[in-house]
Chain A
Amino acid sequence: DTAVSQTPKYLVTQMGNDKSIKCEQNLGHDTMYWYKQDSKKFLKIMFSYNNKELIINETVPNRFSPKSPDKAHLNLHINSLELGDSAVYFCASSQVLGGAKNIQYFGAGTRLSVL
């Protein structure tokens, strides 16, 4: 059983399109995250949800909208895709937000290519 699974693994789309990435965790964790990893491998947090509540919202264009229907799911919807959105997006979860139990469990990533 995959602990954190995200779909799709690859996403190739045209500029201006809208797309969604889905994430599910079966670890029973309270907190979920979206990270973006750019071409230089720099991993940066975008959003964090704790018990379905948005906790961290970094400086991300409002074209990106996360949604957490329940503790086990966190989706990311992106409107009007731009070339600069091309990156690998990782979903992650942790037992709690902050503290020694804030160990992140990552999904395999979604490689988004905007043409």
Chain B
Amino acid sequence: SQKIEQNSEALNIQEGKTATLTCNYTNYSPAYLQWYRQDPGRGPVFLLLIRKNEKEKRKERLKVTFDTTLKQSLFHITASQPADSATYLCATQGGKLIFGQGTELSVKP
């Protein structure tokens, strides 16, 4: 069955550094991957969608890559800020979304 995995360990980084989060998928060849941000006590908020024929997608300080050979998507936040602290979820795209378990990012001042 389709499986999507994120690093369940929290990622702690210093303000100003680049945060890199990983999303791996198996038993599936998604046409798209989505990334969401979830703050405590709130619902996930859509950030970026990348298609399989796109190597990279950018939005302000965010960058997403999609490597169909490695079956992996990387999510980068450059010049990270404490306000970027949240849980980030990736999701495969299809008739229904399957979410990864999320990676909690903590950016320290």
Contacts and interface: CB of A to CB of B under 8 A. Distances in A.
Contacts of A66: none
Interface centre among B93, B97, B99 (most CB of A within 10 A): B97
> By DSSP majority rule, is chain B's interface helix, strand, loop, or mixed?
strand
Interface centre among A90, A103, A108 (most CB of B within 10 A): A103
A28 B87 CA distance: 28
A105 B46 contact: yes
A12 B80 CA distance: 38
Nearest to A105: B46
B46 A56 contact: no
A48 interface: yes
A84 interface: no
Contacts of A48: 96
Interface of B: 32, 34, 36, 38, 41-46, 49, 51, 87, 89, 91, 93-99, 101-102
